[in-house]
Amino acid sequence: MIGKAAPGMSNSIRIDGNFETGLSIRSLDGKPVLIESKPSTVKLLPVTGRGGEVYQPPEIHLGHSLRETTPPVLADLSNLYLDSLLREAESLKL
């Protein structure tokens, strides 16, 4: 966040430039500009299915508590599980 409000910090700023050539940030009231950087985060939200049933994001996978529940981690676990199902199906003698 650029120009975050805080005691003693500028409430009046100007940003010039662009992301290709660079940005220039300056205070219009002479006070320092507070710039706070936070990493982006993504989290799964509950899903409402047909009939109004709500499905919460998983906290357990194959009987084990999940330490991390970010979408990429859960997608990897899903792919590993589906791969194991396919290998099991391929091994069946039909």
Residue 1 has pLDDT above 80, yes or no: no
d(CA 26, CA 32): 9
Task: Note the pLDDT tens digit of each residue in 31-45.
Answer: 999 888 887 788 899
| Averaged pLDDT of the chain | 89
The mean pLDDT of 49-62, rounded to a whole number, is 94
Distances from the Cα of 45 to the Cα of 70, 73, 78, angstroms:
11, 15, 17
Identify whether residues 24 and 60 lie together within a single domain. no
pLDDT of residue 60: 93
pTM given for the model: 0.50
| Domain membership of residue 53 as a residue range | 47-91
Q: Are residues 29 and 60 in the same domain?
A: no
Please tell me whether residues 51 and 87 are part of one structural domain: yes
